[in-house]
Amino acid sequence: MITVQGKGVSAGVGIGPLYFYQRAKTTITRATDADPEAEWARFKGAQTAAIEQLGALAETARADAGDEAALLFETHQMMAEDLDYEEAVEALVRGQHLNAEAAVADTAARFAAMFAAMDDAYMQARAADVRDVSRRILRALTGTAEGGIDAPGPALVAADDLAPSETVQLDKAKILGFVTAGGSASSHTAILARTMGIPAVVGVGGALKPEFEGRTAIIDGTTGAVIIDPDDETRARMEKKREEQLRLQRLLESLKGQENVTKDGRTVRIYCNIAAPEDVPAVLAADGGGIGLFRSEFLYLGAAEAPGEEEQFLAYKRVLEAMDGREVIIRTCDIGADKNVGYFDLPKEENPALGLRGLRLCLAKPALFRTQLRALYRASAYGRLAIMLPMVTGVWEVREAKKLCEAAVAELKAEGIPIAEKVPLGIMIETPAAALMSDRLAAEVDFFSCGTNDLTQYTLACDRQNNDLGRFYDPHHPAVLRLLKLVADNAHRAGIWVGVCGELAADLEMTETFLALGIDELSVPPRSVLPLRNAVRMTDTRESAPRILADLAASRHRI
């Protein structure tokens, strides 16, 4: 028996023979004196073929894994006809007389490197998408067939890495799980595996050896373990685990459409965190009650320049319309700290997490803020919008932001543009200053949402990016919990609601505590909605709340 370790990215246990994905090799010839017009025509032909194939794949994905998976291929279609991409190929074909294959291969390498160099993990994972789309165009250019696996029956699929199109083309009924040497949790293959409910482990590295081909294996998509030639005892244990997980999965499915209500009748809203309009289908599929945090800065991070008013308006409108009357809380641009864009040309900071980020940057660049506010208020006519300000430390910042909001509203009204009658304005509580001032801040806004990722970082003086800090970065620390209690009490005293939208909201160890504090809304990744609903429905606050509040008052929570 051999056990190797990767990263579990899609829960579940897969047991069966392991087969490697065989990718047909595309041979790329390189000519520097090609006929530009003939090569350009070849590229356009291959591009059209790729776009048609992606349309068909979108339909397969829709049938197998729903709208979210289909959207992936629709996004790939857009990438295949992206003007920047096309212009880069054209410059090489027409400008340098490269043949079409070499021009596509060079462009793919350049665009993928650009994505891979970005700070944000989501954008880094887009490098794989560019490569995938480009491989499809190259296959059309060279007449190479698609890959597959050579297994007699259902199998675990192994690969160095799998592109989303390769993943979806495999016969779902025959896949027991995915295991890849490379990949990340936010790669689209991981996302697809999760939506298809197929166990997956990525990042196994060189330990995933070709000699495992055809041998019996077990993968655990929760722990990331990959076991080759399991002994009888291990196999029996893992089969039992698989049964339990399937039972839990069935239970969670049965909770769709049910209320988030405790045994003693207390309710809490469960909303979702998203980074792009493309994430909305996952929210709807998970039965999320609304969007508690749309991290709008991702519109800026993925672009070569700041997105304009029209582009932002269309993105926000798309989310509001798709959410069909459910509440959508859009956070204004939280650029700075670990989320940076070159085009703002900001001076280098020694301590960027303590620097010009979030609302501070928006107040320092009012023209940029105005563009976003105009786009937001214009979009407000298309659904139930609320606006939320990040990185607040005091009252004057909020007052200044409110003035800019009022100015944007007045401008739009003067232009005769329709906007919603009421757009609630809230703030994130993610600095100790905001938590300590929450009595005064509550008088200024309509709601609070606690960003526990940053609140933990700033309260405990622990860089959230620094993995070496390990147990020092502890969102369960009593200092953080005391601040949350203070914020919840101050919010309720002022008659406004309070939510939590940091990672902690999805931590089921904390559900009873949030209910004891009277938290009104929890905003979590879509996949956490049903497990959280289950945890809420198992809670009886008559039993848990007095105990938790007494523990908190005495700081018996993990000191």
In the complex with ligand PEP, the residue whose CB is nearer, 254 or 465, is: 465
* Nearest-approach distance from CB 29 to ligand PEP, in angstroms: 46
Q: Token pair of 333, please?
A: 């641009």
Q: 500 forms bridges with which residues in the sheet?
A: 450, 522
Q: From CA 306, how far away is CA 299, in angstroms rounded? A: 8
DSSP labels, 200-238: EEE--GGGS-GGGTT-EEEEETTT-EEEES--HHHHHHH
Residue, CB closest to Mg ion = 454
What's the min distance (Å) between Cβ of 172 and ligand PEP? 33
In contact, 100 and 43? CB cutoff 8 Å: yes
User: 452 is in the binding site of which of Mg ion, ligand PEP, none (Cβ under 5 to 8 A by kind)?
Assistant: ligand PEP
Residue the block writes with tokens 């490569």: 131
Min dist CB 527 to ligand PEP, Å, is: 17
501 catalytic? Reply is yes
Q: Segment near Mg ion (CB under 5 A), from 19-27, 262-270, 451-459, 530-538?
A: 451-459
Q: What is the DSSP string of 409-456?
A: HHHHHHTT----S---EEEEE-SHHHHHTHHHHHTT-SEEEE-HHHHH
| Binds Mg ion (CB under 5 A): choice among 16, 230, 289, 451 | 451
Residue whose tokens read 């410059």 = 91
Of 191-199, 338-346, 425-433, 467-475, the segment contacting Mg ion by CB under 5 A is: 425-433
Question: Per CB under 5 A, does 475 bind Mg ion?
Answer: no
Nearest approach, Cβ of residue 223 and ligand PEP (Å) = 25
Strands 13-20 and 7-10: unpaired
DSSP state of 162: -
The entry of Mg ion, ligand PEP, none near residue 502 (CB within 5 to 8 angstroms by kind) is ligand PEP
- Nearer residue to ligand PEP within complex by CB, 18 or 506: 506
Both tokens assigned to 128: 């794989």
- Segment contacting Mg ion (CB under 5 A): 16-24, 419-427, 430-438, 536-544? 430-438
Point out which span in 166-174, 454-462, 467-475, 551-559 binds Mg ion (CB under 5 A).
454-462
Q: Exactly one of 362, 405, 462, 501 is catalytic; which is it?
A: 501
Helix, strand, or coil (residue 65): helix
Q: Which stretch binds Mg ion (CB under 5 A): 25-33, 222-230, 422-430, 439-447?
A: 422-430
Q: Is 188 noted as a catalytic residue in this protein?
A: yes
Indicate whether 430 belongs to the interface with Mg ion (CB under 5 A).
yes
Q: Give every strand in the sheet of 155-159, ordered side by side.
A: 2-5, 225-228, 216-220, 13-20, 155-159, 175-180, 200-202, 7-10
In angstroms, the CA 90 to CA 352 distance is: 39
Q: Which is nearer to Mg ion, 454 or 520 (CB)?
A: 454
From candidates 106, 297, 444, 454, binder to Mg ion by CB under 5 A: 454
3-state helix, strand, coil in the chain (%, to 5): 55, 15, 30
Q: What residues make contact with ligand PEP under the rule CB under 6 A?
A: 293, 295, 334, 430, 451-454, 501-502
Q: Which of Mg ion, ligand PEP, none does residue 295 bind (CB under 5 to 8 Å by kind)? A: ligand PEP
**Token pair recorded at residue 73:** 């291929």
Q: How many residues are listed for the chain in this entry? A: 559
Tell me how far apart the alpha carbons of residues 331 and 510 are, in angstroms, rounded to a whole number. 24
**Residue 381 CB coordination number (10 Å):** 16
Rounded to whole angstroms, the Cα distance separating 364 from 362 reads 5
| Smallest gap from residue 270 Cβ to ligand PEP (A) | 15
Residue 320 and residue 301: Cα distance in Å, rounded?
Answer: 21
In the bound state with ligand PEP, the residue whose beta carbon lies nearer, of 133 and 329, is 329
Spot the catalytic one: 188, 362, 405, 477: 188
- Cβ at position 357, least distance to ligand PEP in Å: 9
Check binding of 297 to Mg ion (CB under 5 A).
Answer: no
For the bound state, the minimum distance from the C-beta of residue 203 to Mg ion, rounded and expressed in Å, comes to: 26
How far apart (Å, rounded) are the C-alpha atoms in residues 534 and 530? 6
When the beta carbons of 382 and 447 are compared against ligand PEP, the nearer one is 447
Q: Which residues are catalytic?
A: 188, 501
The footprint of Mg ion (CB under 5 A) covers 430, 451, 454
